Amino acid sequence: MRVTQLNVTQKNVTQLNETHDPALQSWVSSANFAGTDFPIQNLPFAVFRRSGSNEAFRGGVAIGDAVLDLAAVHAKGIFTGPAGLAVQAAAAENLNAFMALGPAVWSALRLALSRALRAGAKEEHALQDCLLPMAAVEYTVPANIGDYTDFYTSIYHATNIGKLFRPDNPLLPNYKWIPIGYHGRASSIGISGQHFRRPLGQIMPPGAEKPVLALSKRLDIELELGIFIGAGNALGESIPIAEAESHVFGICLLNDWSARDIQGWEYQPLGPFLAKNFATTISPWIVTLEALAPYRTAFTRPAEDPQPLPYLDSEANRAAGAFDIQLQVGLQTPRMREEKQSEHVFCRTSYRHAYWTIAQMLTHHTVNGCNLRPGDLFGSGTLSGPTLEQAGALIEITAGGKNPMPLPNGEQRTFLEDGDTVVIRGWCEKPGAARIGFGDCTGTVMPGKVV
């Protein structure tokens, strides 16, 4: 789809506006229910079609338990100007063109949708037949992800992992100075509901003289957030921290599945490879930074820690560069599924514990002139908090497999077994603001295939 560009002034993505008013109600009644992930104050984006159909995928917006079909909205010509431009772009088979338009255009569409979906809006009649029940749709990865970079932003996770291998010196000396990251594999990123085979790779058994090719026995999860890039930058041009967030479209949930036994053998000297590239699962809904504005919080460092270098520091980042996003991880075994038991939640934490902010990750990524493109994806790294109950990976919870995690039905796990389903959920909630949710990110381990 060819999209005409408009010259629109950039908008401050931290600013509260009328779309955040917690008193707003929608004519879509389910958006007003207590506890919904998708009230009118949220309006996240995904790419969908009717389940089981051969329809073209197209952009949609979540409102209550329904999806607003943006292709249908565009066909009706309801919105004009920047909002009309945005709908045209978001009606495509992926959101890349929409992401490229920048925060002023994203905000224009968000405002237009908020006003059109409010109780009493004159657009209600025209938009009613643009709604589809969420239960009747299926999703795909919302953007053509050209590049994927996974970071390592939880000092608690880094320390916990370090203790397993370097008890006397768990945290490497560069961690507090630099946002650590590696380039992952974009082709194996799948949408929530992903089923993937247990990975095969080289493993060095304890005490052995040579490695073997075998299925991973230490398959793990990593609780992360995904950060989608909006407008990019030219090759050779860095993005200063004061402008970094204007290049961020929004946030989703992410599970960075990890084969710890493969990883332990291969990661030296160049880092993760087959231990990570077999599958990464993301949630379908991308929550915009604008929707998350009420849940910004201060970014702080312990006084005894080194403070960020000047290129990674700004007044705005210190004042409101972090987000208080609540996160949890649940596990459902095949037996639990057969007995109609829901997943057992074994981790609850918050993104506010991250040691590096989104703006710092993006600025560091581009400081050498690396060019980002619309639809590129960052992983936050495992978002463990300061206590064991806030650990976002089984390798931390079980101390590398030494302390199995008990489940309520009498089962236990050190690492994932075939048929296990992992469910990540995320939301923001506090008095005086509307609850904002991310939906869920679900993935299931299938038996591996030996060659």
DSSP 242-276: GGGGGGEEEEEEEE--EEHHHHHHH-TTT--STTT
pLDDT tens digits for 81-113? Answer: 999 999 999 999 999 999 999 999 999 999 999
Tens of pLDDT along 316-355?
999 999 999 999 999 999 999 999 999 999 999 999 999 9
The one catalytic residue in 74, 157, 353, 365 is 157
Per-residue pLDDT, 13? 54
Tokens encoding 215: 């299925």
Decide if pLDDT at 393 tops 80.
yes
Which class is 18-140 in CATH?
Answer: mainly beta
| Residue 4: predicted pLDDT | 39
Q: Give the model's confidence band at 421: pLDDT under 50 very low, under 70 low, under 90 confident, else very high.
A: very high
At residue 276, what is the residue type?
A: K
User: Annotated catalytic, 183?
Assistant: no
What letter represents residue 362's amino acid? L
- Higher-pLDDT residue of 282 and 1 is 282
Q: Note whether 203 and 152 are within 8 A (CB).
A: no
User: Is the separation of the CB atoms in 192 and 139 below 8 Å?
Assistant: yes
Which pLDDT belongs to residue 83? 98
DSSP letters spanning 145-212: ---EEEE---HHHHHHHHHHH-TTS-S-TTTTTS--EEE--STTEEETTEEEEPPEEEE--TT-SS-E
pTM here is 0.96
Please give the CATH number for the structural domain made up of 148-446: 3.90.850.10
In the chain, what are the domain boundaries? 18-140, 148-446
Taking the C-alpha atoms of residue 134 and residue 66, their distance in angstroms, rounded to an integer, is 5
Q: How sure is the predictor about 166, in pLDDT bands with cuts at 50, 70 and 90?
A: confident
For residue 194, pLDDT over 60 is answered with: yes
Confidence of residue 402 (pLDDT cuts 50, 70, 90): very high
> In this model, does residue 2 exceed pLDDT 90?
no
